[in-house]
Structure 1
């Protein structure tokens, strides 16, 4: 007896080892993605050779002076806005251009400087994460494990990581020094294009082709809009009726003017077919519109971009969408496809699983077009199923990409996984979806991506496969259901007791899996027995056979109807409809 108590207490030599459960991290609440802050449209300019030469001269002249102003701004360092000497710099630039060109150049310099500081701050955070990850593993001896941290498998890899740590610390010290002094590194024209000059063979470019791209990237032909000015912009003007384009020439190039007041008018016109009505509303009301001349040396084309700030819009919250009883389209983003599922207000999947192919190989222009086509297909599906919005994961692989092999695996399998993660266009997908869904009248809800794939496979893959036996259901479709349920405020797991593949259970409880149906208060008719006559040839009691005399006032089912007859479920997440 004493020995049994001793061993039951856990102090004996054969006592069972207690398994410590892994704690789940807190899941953030879903939120509605904000509407686009502005709009940008483009149209092609079919200019002549002489007009292209004039535009190139103006762009090179303004670009040279803008780069000088940017060097001056970087030399000033991190100061308050009132101490950046913008008035002095603008006065100096006005003498070689015009007052409005000078204002655009100083604003562009300030925006570029602040953006570079933010990028430098992000690089510092990334280097710190990588240093911490390597230092944790170096603190554990080779081949051993301490808590959740594993040491490196052999001394060779450990020595390589020590060298890597020294390199990262050197880079981190340099970044911190530049960030503290307010001296970011800025390459006008792009750092990637600048590095390609040293390896033209690898880039597939000749020196002449590289020079054309470099010069085109360093042109400055940007004019900020001005409310109250004719058609929203005085420096670059576009007539709304005829589409004629004209621009003010800088002071040293006024001899090239072919229109009054030192302006140069192009013979070609623009139409802005995409979102033309919005553009016309602004220019006819003399509201600010910014214009940019863009030169593509690869195709030999010139474009004119028009952009403006959009008015703030208040979008419905996830709680409001749920209270309205609207459907959602849950989407799981993957490297080669989009998995989606339509969910009703209660979180039940409707219909069949949806797979949208996503091929992100080839040139950047083709990848962007394929991404837009996939998003357009999602919007079409959401509209066809009368969904109020699209639920996606709030993905961001910054931490994983910063630490690399330390957290995402090593070897051939880890390399393939890291390559897959690097190929997922999380930022582009989120921005494209936000803009396109907003103009389609849909709301985008972002949810925490924690455990969506794991729980989707565990709780939803098998029931969905039983319901759709003619279609292959993957764990990604289950993840899309978990994403949609999380956006609606429901748990990822289904309601207990609804897993049996039975027609009566499916019919009776399919619409109540996500919410609790309140019981009736007061007296109610007794449930019918198997021998009691029923309508429709039924021999078992049904939920609708009971009459609720005093229904619950606080009906938390949000619109659940009191059933008065046989129930027919239009959407079931478990079982197969017959």
Structure 2
């Protein structure tokens, strides 16, 4: 009996990706004295303790949070710092609590997906093979028994998470859960207790202030002048450390922004809002300043305009970006391009590799004035061990692909160059691309990979075409009597195969103007026995 095929899921329409809404630049604070370092440490530790207390109160409020409780928390913080410091702390607390709620919901969805997968596999006999679309049963009775226990474990976790969500409880670790766990396994991370303590305390400090439009240089709490002088409004308990008027401490060090420095200076001179964050890199022993501000949303180019002239289809992989240029009809042009990157090593190395690959891709697209089409990938539900089982290498592969970070960086970098980004549904692009495009585009001099074919499928979907190369011939006959056989172009496109309309003027690929009246009649050539000749013979009789 033939296997019953699973129906294809609905494919979402492509859409133009919105541009970035903010800017952040970072630089080092140079020339700090030991006194400056001590003041920054004391202010960060004091404000960090207040932020921890405020986060605890916010978590205790849960779903009972209101504007009155917010105002009460802010008043309590103002006495130990200042009104602006209190506003920055409460805002950061709300953002952190909201992030924890989103992560909690994602965890619930992950648990639900794992339970569904285990329940399905437990319902099948042991040893039954699966298909491409559904997993089979477990291999042995022992594995089946272990999964029954795991099903109960996941069910208990899911019940606890649902209860926490209904009650508004979240679990947050200021400084990060991973550094907190490293305290119990210092040998694995190659740290001493003193080194771990320094990193842990630095990660819990709070030295950030929101910008205010109309205030001097855009920020009253952390003020940076256009010439790079940095000063901080000290909290009330540390006001005795001030070395300037109005309880401010002016650092001996200075900053200089090389990237977007002119844009930042313009905002500072015009007293437009700029938010600042100061943090310590314990490994290097350096202090850094991050400036950020919002920008007007970049106008989204209409989809029809973005498609005009073709685009570049990009397939995201674990070690490279596969790209192929397509014209307006969805036909591949030129040779495929691959932009490699290495995701091993430190986070800074991985980030640099991704930036370099994206820079090459964007410069290539800018050279031909083309839009970029990329998949709207999300592996949040694809990394569970319940779905992929023993395929640990594959799970590690998809877990290591920075799809969200890569897309966010691509959008921000493309906005600077004026390049539009189109996101498409990733469903079946690799499978259908290999089915319809890999073999026809493979020759003795070019080996087309599955990823290259997927980039064509992505580009064609972004253009609004079907992925397959041609439709089936008409059911009655194999001519153009009913409709054209290809779906790549409209009836009035000159680049399509078949009959072209009669266009006055110079024509390079056909007869002169006015001679195309019978261009569509393939029988109207100078052949003996043509119908036109028969008519002339009858008139001559």
Scaled to the shorter chain, the TM-score interval is: 0.7 to 0.9
Answer whether contact 2:466 2:487 (CA < 8 A) is retained: no
Alignment of 1:100-115 (within 5 A): 100-115=84-99
State the 1:150 CA deviation: 2.4
Separation in 1, partners of 2:354, 2:503: 57
Separation in 2, partners of 1:358, 1:223: 36
Segment of structure 1 superposing worse, 416-425 or 248-257: 416-425
Kindly report the root-mean-square deviation, in angstroms, between the aligned alpha carbons of the 2 structures: 2.6
State the 1:522 CA deviation: 9.5
1:132 to 116, 134, 147: 116
Aligned residue number for residue 230 of structure 2: 245
2:456 to 477, 481, 503: 481
Residue by residue over 1:131-154, the C-alpha shift from the partner in whole angstroms, topping out at 9 and shown as x without a partner, is 111111112232347995522222
Q: Is residue 194 from structure 1 mapped to residue 177 from structure 2 by the alignment?
A: no
Residue by residue over 1:86-141, the C-alpha shift from the partner in whole angstroms, topping out at 9 and shown as x without a partner, is 11111111111111111111111111111111111111111111111111111223
Answer whether contact 1:348 1:513 (CA < 8 A) is retained: no
Aligned residue number for residue 144 of structure 2: 158
Answer whether contact 2:25 2:259 (CA < 8 A) is retained: yes
Give ranges in structure 1 of 5+ residues lacking alignment.
1-16, 499-511, 526-534, 537-541, 553-578
State the 1:19 CA deviation: 6.6
Say if 1:435 and 1:95 are closer, same or farther in 2 by CA, change over 3 A. Answer: same
Aligned residue number for residue 335 of structure 2: 352
Q: Is residue 305 from structure 1 mapped to residue 287 from structure 2 by the alignment?
A: no
State the 1:178 CA deviation: 1.5
Separation in 2, partners of 1:125, 1:292: 34
Q: Is residue 407 from structure 1 mapped to residue 391 from structure 2 by the alignment?
A: no
Secondary structure at 1:271's aligned position in 2?
Answer: coil
Separation in 2, partners of 1:545, 1:477: 41
Answer whether contact 2:24 2:292 (CA < 8 A) is retained: yes
Say if 1:524 and 1:69 are closer, same or farther in 2 by CA, change over 3 A. Answer: closer
Separation in 2, partners of 1:364, 1:207: 23
1:170 to 152, 156, 167: 156
Secondary structure at 1:398's aligned position in 2?
Answer: coil
Answer whether contact 1:346 1:513 (CA < 8 A) is retained: no
1:210 to 196, 201, 208: 196
Separation in 1, partners of 2:300, 2:408: 16
Aligned residue number for residue 530 of structure 2: none
State the 1:513 CA deviation: 7.2
Say if 1:545 and 1:196 are closer, same or farther in 2 by CA, change over 3 A. Answer: farther
Aligned residue number for residue 142 of structure 1: 126
Separation in 1, partners of 2:286, 2:33: 11
Secondary structure at 2:442's aligned position in 1?
Answer: helix
Residue by residue over 1:144-171, the C-alpha shift from the partner in whole angstroms, topping out at 9 and shown as x without a partner, is 4799552222211101111111221121
Q: Is residue 227 from structure 1 mapped to residue 213 from structure 2 by the alignment?
A: yes
Answer whether contact 1:395 1:449 (CA < 8 A) is retained: yes
Q: Is residue 391 from structure 1 mapped to residue 373 from structure 2 by the alignment?
A: yes
Secondary structure at 1:274's aligned position in 2?
Answer: coil
Separation in 2, partners of 1:180, 1:264: 46
Aligned residue number for residue 275 of structure 1: 260
Q: Is residue 342 from structure 1 mapped to residue 325 from structure 2 by the alignment?
A: yes
Answer whether contact 1:239 1:245 (CA < 8 A) is retained: yes
Say if 1:135 and 1:18 are closer, same or farther in 2 by CA, change over 3 A. Answer: closer
State the 1:214 CA deviation: 0.3
State the 1:473 CA deviation: 1.9
Separation in 1, partners of 2:296, 2:151: 48
State the 1:455 CA deviation: 1.5
Aligned residue number for residue 88 of structure 1: 72
Say if 1:204 and 1:471 are closer, same or farther in 2 by CA, change over 3 A. Answer: farther
Answer whether contact 1:137 1:151 (CA < 8 A) is retained: yes
Aligned residue number for residue 479 of structure 2: none
Separation in 2, partners of 1:164, 1:523: 71
1:490 to 465, 468, 473: 465
Say if 1:426 and 1:521 are closer, same or farther in 2 by CA, change over 3 A. Answer: closer
Separation in 1, partners of 2:517, 2:23: 56
Answer whether contact 2:221 2:232 (CA < 8 A) is retained: yes
2:312 to 326, 329, 336: 329
Counting matched residue pairs gives: 497
Separation in 1, partners of 2:265, 2:127: 68
Alignment of 1:499-514 (within 5 A): 514=488
Answer whether contact 2:50 2:77 (CA < 8 A) is retained: yes
Aligned residue number for residue 536 of structure 2: none
Separation in 2, partners of 1:66, 1:218: 9
State the 1:350 CA deviation: 1.2
1:27 to 11, 22, 42: 11
Residue by residue over 1:23-72, the C-alpha shift from the partner in whole angstroms, topping out at 9 and shown as x without a partner, is 32221100111111211101100222221111000000011011111111
Say if 1:238 and 1:143 are closer, same or farther in 2 by CA, change over 3 A. Answer: same
Separation in 2, partners of 1:545, 1:26: 48
Aligned residue number for residue 117 of structure 1: 101
Segment of structure 1 superposing worse, 454-463 or 100-109: 454-463
Say if 1:393 and 1:159 are closer, same or farther in 2 by CA, change over 3 A. Answer: same
Aligned residue number for residue 532 of structure 1: none
Separation in 2, partners of 1:82, 1:340: 51
2:397 to 386, 402, 420: 420
Segment of structure 1 superposing worse, 285-294 or 270-279: 270-279
Answer whether contact 2:342 2:350 (CA < 8 A) is retained: yes
Give ranges in structure 2 of 5+ residues lacking alignment.
474-485, 493-497, 521-541
Answer whether contact 1:140 1:146 (CA < 8 A) is retained: no
- TM-score of the pair, normalised by structure 1: 0.81
Aligned residue number for residue 515 of structure 1: 489
State the 1:401 CA deviation: 1.3
Answer whether contact 2:313 2:458 (CA < 8 A) is retained: yes
Alignment of 1:369-380 (within 5 A): 369-380=352-363
State the 1:296 CA deviation: 0.5
State the 1:472 CA deviation: 2.9
- TM-score of the pair, normalised by structure 2: 0.87
State the 1:293 CA deviation: 0.3
Say if 1:283 and 1:161 are closer, same or farther in 2 by CA, change over 3 A. Answer: same
